[in-house]
Amino acid sequence: MEPDKAAFESLMRQTGPMIYTLAIRLTGNPADGQDLAQETFIKAYKGFGTFRGESAAGTWLYRICVNEWKNRVRYEKRRLFWRHVSFQSKEKDSPPRDLAAADPPLDINLEGSDRQALVQKALGRLEPQERAILVMRDMEDKPYEEISALLDIPLGTVKSRLARSRERLRQLFTALGKTAL
């Protein structure tokens, strides 16, 4: 079934900035955010004819974006794992490499004007689920119930992960000699 192009274009105009902002916050940089937003809208366009309207269209797109991001994270973890395995098979005598070391290091010598960049780097060091919950609650002001529905996890899990995520983010800032958020 061919989707209604005019209706979809209208939806894109209405929700595009919200999805793009979410994508940047999840990925940590504008280029990857733009790619994620584009993938979100491509997937939404393909499924637009089957959208049942059980939720707001913005919520539906939000969910697609989060799911696409989670898929990217899983893919990247697998890719790093296999790169690590391939490397280890060639270098049997070398010590095992920490996959977390592939993350970009946090820059300790940042000025106050670079706080936003520091936040993005710190968010990048969090686990995907931690980052998603922090972004949705603290940056997007989503209610706990909506986060629970979007991530398909219980409400109590959302609250406990949010508390742990905030504490982990504070620890990252403390380790950098910065005051906690």
Work out the angle at residue 178's Cα, subtended by the Cα atoms of residues 181 and 120, and round it to the nearest 5 degrees.
Answer: 65
The pLDDT tens digits of the residues spanning 10-49 come to 989 999 999 999 999 999 889 999 999 999 999 999 988 8
Residue 86's pLDDT is what?
39
31, 59 contact by CB (below 8 A): no
Residue 79 in this model has a pLDDT that exceeds 50:
yes
Q: Which residue has the higher pLDDT, 20 or 140?
A: 20
> pLDDT category, 78, cuts 50, 70, 90?
low
So what's the pLDDT on residue 44?
Answer: 92
| pLDDT at 72 (0 to 100) | 87
Q: pLDDT confidence of 104, banded at 50, 70, 90?
A: very low
Question: Is residue 88 over pLDDT 50?
Answer: no
Query: Which residue did the predictor score with more confidence, 5 or 159?
Result: 159
Q: Name all contacts of 170-173 with Cβ < 8 Å and 24+ positions apart.
A: 172/106, 172/122, 172/125, 173/118, 173/122
Q: What is the mean pLDDT of residues 48-54?
A: 81
Cα angle 164, 166, 172; round to 5? 105
Domains, the chain, in order of start with CATH, read 1-102 (1.10.1740.10), 104-181 (1.10.10.10)
The total of other beta-carbon atoms located within 10 Å of residue 22's CB is: 26
Phi then psi dihedrals of residue 84, to 5 deg:
-65, -45
Confidence of residue 177 (pLDDT cuts 50, 70, 90): low
Tell me what pLDDT residue 115 has. 66
Does the pTM of the predicted model rise above 0.85? Answer: no
Between CA 148 and CA 155 the distance in angstroms is 5
Report which of residues 33 and 172 the model is more confident about.
33
The rounded distance, in Å, linking the Cα atoms of 37 and 43 is: 10
Is a pLDDT exceeding 90 seen at residue 139? no
The dihedral region occupied by 177, where left means phi > 0, alpha psi between -120 and 50, and beta the remainder, is left
